[in-house]
Amino acid sequence: MNRRLADSSSLRSSELEDYLRASRDNRVLVSEVTAFESYKSGNLDAIARNFAICARFPQQVEILRCTSEIIELESNGPVQATRYVEPHQTREFGRFCFLLDRARAGDAQLKRQVEDHIAASTDRVARVHSGVAQFAEGIRLVTRDLGQDVVQALRKEIYTAETLRPVWRGVMWLAGHTFVNCYPNKVGFPDLNDALQLFTFRFSTASFLLAVSWIRRGGLDQVKESRLVNDLLDMQQVAVATRFDGILTRDSNLIDLYEETLIFIEAFAGRDEPQPVS
């Protein structure tokens, strides 16, 4: 079984259709962030177009739990990645597509039901936005500690042990900070081997590498809060995708960050400092 997360940019793409058509064992994962991006227009016709390819392969679509549920699921340690999948919504995806078509055809009651479902999803992601906005400030603070020599080297894409070591430490600090915020009643930190499998650790890794990518382009201070929040939501996508078999996206920057995050996770697992990404 091959499972890949799809972001909103890929939902209407030929790549997604080719992937699903290639094998019945290929699964596409739809997260709350992808769903929100697909719903936010509020236009039922646009929403139907966004899910048109998935609707043709309903048995190959798996809906993921929302981020807060994944974090809660891992409160006692790592779980199998397949437990990120929400079974009820996954079973009901085909029915959702059917009801969406009926609503578009003019069924007023079904239209209200679909709109209520969309509104509930939008409210959940609005709460995620609020939490991520607070996290964004933590990102700004920790990257300020990198030092001007490291910042200048990163901007020039000079990747040596001296420039990567502070990034390594920053990832570890941010992961610890995130763990404490998500699990305030926990005493101590998990073993590194367990931590590597946690969503919180992978999200922290992806987010710090996102900050490094912004530093390369001139610094975080020039990034608007709304842009940074949206980028951090993308890092949630990256974090989940690293627990599965990849990500389907038309965003080349997202692919780069996915690959860099995997390199760092593998380096942590091997206790080796990450080497420059070519």
What's the mean pLDDT in 12-35? Answer: 96
Per-residue model confidence (pLDDT) at position 148: 74
3-state class (DSSP) for residue 186: coil
Residue indicated by tokens 């969406």: 100
Residue % of the chain over a pLDDT of 70 = 86
3-state class (DSSP) for residue 78: coil
Residue 228 is encoded by which pair of tokens?
A: 């940074």
Per-residue model confidence (pLDDT) at position 20: 97
The more confidently predicted of residues 7 and 276 is 7
Per-residue model confidence (pLDDT) at position 278: 42
Per-residue model confidence (pLDDT) at position 179: 85
Please choose, from the candidates 18, 3, 1, the residue with its C-alpha nearest in 3D space to the C-alpha of residue 243.
3
Q: Are 203 and 240 in contact (CB under 8 A)?
A: no
What's the mean pLDDT in 210-214? Answer: 83
Does position 156 have pLDDT exceeding 90, yes or no?
no
Q: Are 4 and 246 in contact (CB under 8 A)?
A: yes
The more confidently predicted of residues 275 and 222 is 222
175-210 pLDDT tens trace:
887 888 888 888 778 888 888 999 999 998 898 888
Q: Are 250 and 9 in contact (CB under 8 A)?
A: yes
Does position 277 have pLDDT exceeding 50, yes or no?
no
Any idea which of 69-73, 134-138, 179-183 has the lowest mean pLDDT?
134-138
